[in-house]
Amino acid sequence: MEERMARNFLSLISHKFKTPLAAINGYAQLLSENTRDNLPEMVRKASASIYGQGTKLAALIETLLDFVGVDNLSAGELKMTETPVEELLREVEEEIKDKTPEVTLKVAVLDKFSVNVDKTLVKKALKQLAANGMKFNKSQEKLLIFSAQLKDGNKMISVGDNGIGIPGEEIPRIFNKFYQVEAAFTGQVEGWGLGLPLVKKIVELHKGRIFAKSQLEKGSAFTIVL
């Protein structure tokens, strides 16, 4: 019961923030881009900063709403379809490649198999893992690998990166809601600490599990077992 109230509260707060923030961002953008009225430099700078920070805040609110939406789902509400894993991975690659021209994307289907999944949700989970793999990555040449493999009859889908890695003792905690690895280590990356809990929830709705392996300064791999 308390859990449900907390979720409703989060959802209410995010919705209440959206409308005023849209007005603030809209006017801040207009002001910062106004070249006709000879506005003082101070006004232009201040409004550009308000617009920049406001846009980040709007993105955080979207993430929060997205999380609450998925967290409220039950397994019965999933739209399951039998999907070849290759199709799943290729579609994710297709959907992120235009937004990330600086990242090398690879798809490695080591075994061909199909999965019975809610495609939209599983793609959301894979895209979230990919976003993390790019966000926590300081390599000159960022690399993301989506792979599929059968192991002991288990269907495994992994997302690997060549990012900063995760300290071993942190791995058990990173799937907890609102948990972020020490800012000093990651360099104050923005977010809520809700990305991995979102992925975990999607995996659990599919009665699967997820684990992470990582090596500092080498990279990380998150594997979903279905």
Residue ranges that bind ligand ADP, judged by CB under 6 A: 132-133, 136, 161, 163-166, 174, 179-181, 186, 189, 191-197, 220
User: Which token pair is 130?
Assistant: 């990919």
Type of residue numbered 205: L
Provide the 8-state DSSP code for 225. Answer: E
In the complex, least distance from residue 150 CB atom to ligand ADP, rounded to whole angstroms:
24
Residue 77: alpha-carbon gap to chain centroid = 22
In the complex, least distance from residue 116 CB atom to ligand ADP, rounded to whole angstroms:
26
Q: Which is nearer to ligand ADP, 54 or 165 (CB)?
A: 165
Q: Which is nearer to ligand ADP, 110 or 189 (CB)?
A: 189
Nearest partner of 180 among 225, 121, 135, 127, judged by Cα: 135
Q: Which is nearer to ligand ADP, 32 or 214 (CB)?
A: 214
SS3 163: coil
Q: Which is nearer to ligand ADP, 25 or 220 (CB)?
A: 220
In the complex, least distance from residue 181 CB atom to ligand ADP, rounded to whole angstroms:
3
Name the pairing type of β-strands 209-215 and 154-161. unpaired
**What value, to the nearest 5°, has the Cα angle with vertex 70 and ends 192 and 160?**
65
In the complex, least distance from residue 84 CB atom to ligand ADP, rounded to whole angstroms:
26
In the complex, least distance from residue 133 CB atom to ligand ADP, rounded to whole angstroms:
4
User: Which token pair is 191?
Assistant: 């977010």
Q: Which is nearer to ligand ADP, 118 or 161 (CB)?
A: 161
d(CA 186, CA 142): 16
